[in-house]
Structure 1
């Protein structure tokens, strides 16, 4: 079973040449936490809500109603369809060549994934699927970031999922545990390896240090994405 591109970080290699992944010439402020650490610390309530959601706990206990799993997957396929459109907007607006290349690769990965899910779940037309309120709000949030902000903030918007899902995997012992019919999905998507997201975090840390990210704006973007994750998980019918 394919891993969702929302949590996958294997395309981070497209960013390795970026100057934000090299040491900044601007001295680091030692009296405040770095941006990535700060953003994660400020969103613990949503992280816990995602972990304690009926969807995640249902997967953990192998008690999730199959209807709930199907409902999540069908919505997630359309979420990724719409997310690809948002990424393409971010690509169009990107002035940074390396970020543009990275986002282009992300777009292709989303397209391949949602097309695979459309085949699996017999979806011919995404417009025929009604998304729940929480999923719709998440899509709209990403659309707003893509259309109104510098492309570096789209990276900020992607980090919550990329960091949250491995963290959930750690909490539920995704690798060592047994999840019945959901075992393959849990092990693929909640894999606790978070090495890729660390590069995303280094990128935004240096971007802020060099004056390309405003901490308050980043917090708003990051929080909305983390809220979207928790809300989407929490919206799924589990009984």
Structure 2
């Protein structure tokens, strides 16, 4: 009487599969699957963050402010309302950068980045203060969207590891040249000079931010989950700030 294992037995199946060439194929497919997973896992953090926030990028592009700039139809009062708030936003971002620089004591590269970027923000907000006759930023009442955005940057600068402020500032640095690329060829009208100076298609300054983010990720010095939360809030802040401007 036959005493072999039941053909329905997993053990029997394993024993018999060893004799078949397709086992090699199965093993190869498994190896390819593992390698594919590993490659996906190695997607740069900067790329992952950008690809995860396309909804707010589109919202920023479709906002009345950006489309009004593109078509040259934006109400001048709406433009002025945005610019006065943006001046204070840049002022507050400068202060957040200074805070992060002071808190960064063991990373000279990151500290220098904060110091250099703070200087650039200072030059820009001082220029805006001169243009819009702003003497005391405390006298400017920000809308709730801009207030929420600057408070987000402040919270990141004061409560989180310094690298997260780089994450928080990257959406602004990357979104604006992207917007410039999307609205390129528009009939900007009186806003042409401003658009050419601010929505600069092809500007790559944001890559310096992304290098720091990706280096931190490779060193295991940043949480992807926390980075996405910070990045998403900033990208939403950009979209909501643009969207807050009443164009009619």
**TM-score, length of structure 1 as denominator length:** 0.84
Distance 2:119 2:241 in 1: 23
Partner of 1:169: 180
Distance 2:65 2:94 in 1: 24
Distance 2:45 2:148 in 1: 25
Partner of 2:190: 181
Q: Which of 68, 77, 81 is the equivalent residue of 1:67?
A: 77
Partner of 2:161: 150
Shift of 1:228: 0.6
Q: Which of 76, 79, 87 is the equivalent residue of 1:77?
A: 87
Q: RCO greater where, 1 or 2, for CA within 8 Å and sep 6 or more?
A: 1
Asked if 1:37 corresponds to 2:44, the answer is: no
- Find runs of 4+ consecutive structure 1 residues off by over 6 angstroms: none
Partner of 1:51: 61
Partner of 2:238: 229
Partner of 2:26: none
Asked if 1:200 corresponds to 2:178, the answer is: no
Distance 2:40 2:119 in 1: 40
Q: Deviations over 1:64-85 (max 9, x none)?
A: 0000000000001111111111
In our comparison, the structure showing a higher alpha carbon Rg is 2
Contact (CA 8 Å) 1:156, 1:221: kept in 2 or not?
yes
Shift of 1:206: 2.4
Shift of 1:199: 3.4
Q: Deviations over 1:15-38 (max 9, x none)?
A: xxxxxxxxxxxxxx5232221111
Report 1:107-118 matches (<5 A): 107-118=118-129
Contact (CA 8 Å) 1:67, 1:237: kept in 2 or not?
no
Give ranges in structure 1 of 5+ residues lacking alignment.
Answer: 1-28
Partner of 1:25: none
Q: Which of 226, 229, 233 is the equivalent residue of 1:217?
A: 226
Shift of 1:113: 1.4
**TM-score, length of structure 2 as denominator length:** 0.81
**How many aligned positions are there?**
210
Q: Deviations over 1:84-142 (max 9, x none)?
A: 11111111111211111111111122122111111111111111110000000000000
Q: Which of 77, 100, 104 is the equivalent residue of 1:90?
A: 100
Distance 1:198 1:116 in 2: 25
Shift of 1:198: 2.5
Asked if 1:135 corresponds to 2:146, the answer is: yes
Contact (CA 8 Å) 2:72, 2:189: kept in 1 or not?
yes
